[in-house]
Amino acid sequence: MALIDNQGEPISRWWVMKGIEIVEKQKDIFSSAKMRQARVELIAGKNRLTTIKNWLLAAQIIQSSGREYVITDIGRAIIANDPYLEKASTWWAFHLSICFSDRNEPYASFFLSLEPIAKDWIPWEEMVQQVRAREELQGYEKSVMESYLGGIRRMFVEDRPLAELGLIESRTVRGEGISVRLGEPTVTNEVVIHALALMRFHCFPSRVSVTFSELVNAGLDRFLCLSPDDLRVQLKNLSHTERWQNQFSYTTVANLDSVDFSDGFMPRKTLLVLLQESQSTWL
């Protein structure tokens, strides 16, 4: 597991688009030797170059290849279907890719620390404490975690693309400071299908069947900003559709809900379905 060293900053739509364009042309653009060129092309200082590179790595849009970086299949699929990164489905793919990345912390823990049923507001200081209390993050200084989490929170405010999906709500109350909670985004069937495929691939790669409780415990409901009951209903309904009934099944036996997968239920396929078929869910 690696942390997203975002230098306490979010990434913009333009930086993602421009970062892909530059890496495609020059694989060593993030090297020390090319720093001056990178700063000019990305209109960014040294620290912001680190921000851009590490968000792109976390979203699995680029990957390291020695001292160079290459565009991944995920990055190529996104650019092929949405070259100007204007579609809501592109940013759902971006969000979910981070959730299941090898560099997903503390982004994943940010969502896992939020309550998915009542969706209560949580004070920012309490959020930081909860994230730091997670076993895999206990060794990091509070100041480091506050910085990284601050950059993550700012991905969901103002004019950032993820803010326009409605995944996270953030408010500032005078005398109380910042609070956050899960939002109420529109979660299409294609989004749920891709999230399920990613979770199966990354969390249960050798399994052909998982219980619904295991999916919830791994955070599928919170990554989608759905209550467990809403997620259960959507998975049940999808499993009975002509499109997906041969890809996975949802069964209940002796009060135990489980999901069974076919061999062909893979994220590389569901990603294209998401990018090409999902309706717009901008707020």
Instruction: Tell me what pLDDT residue 67 has.
Output: 87
How far, in Å, CA of 179 to CA of 174, rounded? 11
Q: Is residue 63 left, alpha or beta, with left meaning phi > 0 and alpha meaning psi from -120 to 50?
A: beta
Of the chain, the end-to-end C-alpha distance in Å amounts to 33
Q: Which helix (H) or strand (E) is 173 found in, with range? A: strand 168-173
At residue 283 the predicted structure's pLDDT band, cuts being 50, 70 and 90, is confident
pLDDT digits (tens, 9 = 90+) for 243-265: 999 999 999 999 999 999 999 99
pLDDT digits (tens, 9 = 90+) for 17-68: 999 999 999 999 999 999 999 999 999 999 999 999 999 999 999 999 988 9
Instruction: Tell me what pLDDT residue 2 has.
Output: 83
How far, in Å, CA of 251 to CA of 233, rounded? 12
Residue 153 has pLDDT above 90, yes or no: yes
Q: Is residue 249 left, alpha or beta, with left meaning phi > 0 and alpha meaning psi from -120 to 50?
A: beta
Residue 1 has pLDDT above 80, yes or no: no
Q: What is the mean pLDDT of the chain?
A: 97
Across the range 226-238, mean pLDDT stands at 98
- Tokens 């971006």, residue? 94
Provide the token pair at 245.
């009934």
Supply the pTM of this predicted model.
Answer: 0.97
Instruction: Tell me what pLDDT residue 230 has.
Output: 98
